[in-house]
Every structure is written in C-alpha cells, then in structure tokens.
A and B are shown apart, each in its own frame.
Chain A
Amino acid sequence: NAGVTQTPKFQVLKTGQSMTLQCAQDMNHEYMSWYRQDPGMGLRLIHYSVGAGITDQGEVPNGYNVSRSTTEDFPLRLLSAAPSQTSVYFCASSYSSPTYNEQFFGPGTRLTVL
C-alpha cells in the first residue's frame, strides 16, 4: 500500500492564482481531511469528508473548496490564492469506526503564495 499520497510536494503561486492540491489514499478509508500547519503552530482543520459525496467545513474553510467523488481521492482547491494561505498542507485519512480511527497523514505540500 502507498498509504496517503499528496502532490505536489512544493508549490509557489502568485496572489490570485488558483490551484488544486491532490490527495489520494489506497486503504479504503471513509474519513478524509485537510489540515494546514503554519510555522510553529498546530494543525487546523480546513475541510473533511466522511464518505464519497459528503463533505463538511472545519475550522478554517474560507478560500478553499473540496469535493469527494470517489473514496480514494480528496482534492483541495484554492480559488484565489492569498499570501495568508502560505502554509504546509496535510491530507489525512482514517476509518470512521469510533474505536479504530487512527489518522494516516500524507507527507504534506509546502505552499508559498507571493
């Protein structure tokens, strides 16, 4: 199993550009989520999904869109990049079971917005 994969690893954008961060998992996990981590900070939940076709907002959803058309993929779209979105983005997945829901994280995407 590849686990959770994220592409790209690094990205530089100009203010106003749009892009999609890709996330895929091959563990048949129902739950997938996106977090952002700013330097020296914790993980803040952007959006999450409990299954294909179902998404919901986290703590900091503004400026981001998600969709979940398949179990495997959960892309994060930046609509119009702003310098405040400079961060490291982590995708994570897990089973939805209340007793077996260890989160597996991808390696992260380091995004810089100029």
Chain B
Amino acid sequence: GQQVMQIPQYQHVQEGEDFTTYCNSSTTLSNIQWYKQRPGGHPVFLIQLVKSGEVKKQKRLTFQFGEAKKNSSLHITATQTTDVGTYFCASRAQAAGNKLTFGGGTRVLVKP
C-alpha cells in the first residue's frame, strides 16, 4: 500500500537555528498536507500543497511540493520554543481515492 516516509524521526534544534523535515513517497501524490501536534494535543492543519513544484510560506515556515509530486519539505527558520511538537505530512495517493494516510512524523525539540 501507499507509504509516506518522513525524515528525520527526531530533530533537536538550537533556538534560532533553521531545520528542514522531509516527506517522501514511492507513488505520485494527489496533494500533500502538513499538520502540527503539540505535546499532549491533537494534530492541527497547517497547509495543503496541490500543484507540482508549489511553494507556500507561513511566516517562518516554508512548504514545498516536489516537481514529480512524490516528495515535500517543511523548512522552519529561526526556530522558537513555540515550534516544539511533532510535524506530520499526510497524503492521498492518486490511485488511492479518498484515503488519507500520515507519515510517521518528525518530533522537534528546541534547546533554548
């Protein structure tokens, strides 16, 4: 079945530094969504990317969708303690209809 792999699994970041998390699929994706889950909370939608090569920004967060629609990345600049949490990508493969599946997530810890 469809598998979406996220790397790295864990990310320890010094406050103020940048980091990137990646989401990779072996199949072509219809679109990709990113979610953030704070410790003890539930996932909250951040953004959706639909078009090949699409780039979207939300303040310090930059999201990219690959040209082949098989990978995506989330880049955070000048990390803050409020960025702590787990970031998930989620996708629907073009051949999988409505079923939305999640990657394993990148757990981000920020060192002040």
| A contacts, CB < 8 Å to B | 31, 33, 35, 40-45, 48, 50, 56, 58-59, 90, 92, 96, 98-99, 101-108
A64–B1 Cα distance when bound, in Å, is 20
Q: Which of B33, B45, B48 contacts A104 (CB 8 A)?
A: B45
A102–B46 Cα distance when bound, in Å, is 9
Q: Which of A44, A59, A105 contacts B44 (CB 8 A)?
A: A105
A59 touches B31 (CB 8 A): no
* B85 at interface, CB cutoff 8 A: no
CB distance from A13 to the nearest CB of B (A): 22
A106–B37 Cα distance when bound, in Å, is 12
CB distance from B100 to the nearest CB of A (A): 7
B98 touches A42 (CB 8 A): no
Q: A99-B50, A102-B45, A103-B90 are in contact. Are A45 and B98 (CB under 8 A)?
A: no
| B contacts, CB < 8 Å to A | 1, 6, 30-31, 33, 35, 42-45, 48, 50, 88, 90, 98-105, 107
B43 touches A43 (CB 8 A): yes
CB distance from A90 to the nearest CB of B (A): 6
10 A–B contacts, CB within 8 A, in A order: A31-B98, A42-B6, A45-B102, A102-B33, A102-B45, A103-B33, A103-B43, A103-B45, A103-B90, A105-B43
A64–B61 Cα distance when bound, in Å, is 37
A42 touches B100 (CB 8 A): no
